[in-house]
Amino acid sequence: MQVTNTIEKTRELVNNWKKEGKTIGLVPTMGYLHEGHASLIRRCREENDIVVVSDFVNPTQFGPNEDLEAYPRDFDRDSALCESIGADLIFCPSPVEMYHDPHAFVSIDTLSDTLCGKTRPIHFKGVCTVVSKLFNIVKPDRAYFGQKDAQQLAIIRKMVLDLNFDIQIVGCPIVREEDGLAKSSRNTYLSCEERKAALCLSKAVKKGQELIRNGITASEVLEPMCEIINSEPLARIDYVSMVDALSMQPVDSVNADVLVAMAVYIGKTRLIDNFSYEV
């Protein structure tokens, strides 16, 4: 497995692989890899000749009061995990390698106005820009994203369609701890007590999955979910919403494919979870 820190060196490797006719899969990550990432890398390994993992905590997707500085990092552990799964390359650039005097950007309207985009107004502009950059650097045939960041996945799919990236976007299921908590690098922020309280998210998801059916109203699904979360003293709801699976706009009832998504603060830690439903 190779490790690159520069765009130039990465491009050189990529262009050689391309010349040899090899297919390339990309797993974009912010590092501190967990089983969720591992499942993406494994899927990527199965489907491509070359597996590239990018490991970059992208500063432009963090707001001024968010956890950029605190975001956990452990490159040696990430590297060992990637190697064990058989990745060919980790691309691990510095912020200054990725951004010097940046002016051009990629963004998306409407889909980024709801859910996490409401609380994190610059987040998806940062995501779209860095993912576009990674696409242009790594030139993958396929790129792998987790369903846990469901709005991100919907936005990337729409961006790829609108900007005509010739890349297949593969969405992969949420990976959970044994007790149900969705795997997240941010789970490391939780105290022992908070870790228990955080179960209210996956319990609410389970409740919503039990209730949802064609034609049901949003409030009939969301209210019992909110009750579960609100009964947990350490939890504070940011949002619990039902949106159209493509447009990310709120819906009143289940008449087309929907996403039911939530963001909940457990103490100071903001966690997300969701489920999708196809009519």
Q: Cα–Cα–Cα angle for 173, 267, 31, nearest 5°?
A: 45
Nearer residue to its own copies within complex by CB, 102 or 121: 102
User: Quick one: which of 129, 151, 184, 187 contacts its own copies (CB under 8 A)?
Assistant: 129
Give yes or no for residue 111 binding its own copies (CB under 8 A): yes
User: Quick one: which of 145, 165, 189, 277 contacts its own copies (CB under 8 A)?
Assistant: 165
- The H or E element containing residue 219 is helix 218-230
Coil, helix or strand at residue 176: strand
Give yes or no for residue 127 binding its own copies (CB under 8 A): no
Could you list the residues known to form a binding site for ATP, using ranges: 30-37, 146-149, 175, 183-186
Stretch that binds its own copies, among 32-40, 71-79, 151-159, 228-236 (CB under 8 A): 151-159
Give yes or no for residue 270 binding its own copies (CB under 8 A): no
The residues near 139 (Cβ < 8 Å, ≥ 6 apart) are: 14, 18, 24
Q: CB atoms < 10 A from the CB of 252, how many?
A: 9
Clarify whether 37 is annotated catalytic: yes
Do the Cβ atoms of 248 and 157 come closer than 8 Å? no
Give yes or no for residue 52 binding its own copies (CB under 8 A): no
Take residue 195 and report the two structure tokens written for it.
């870790």
For 264, which DSSP code?
Answer: E
Coil, helix or strand at residue 140: coil
Q: How far is the CB of 250 from its own copies (least distance, A)?
A: 16
Instruction: Give the footprint of its own copies on this chain (CB under 8 A).
Output: 7, 11, 15, 19, 21, 102-111, 128-129, 132-133, 136-137, 139, 155, 158-159, 161-166
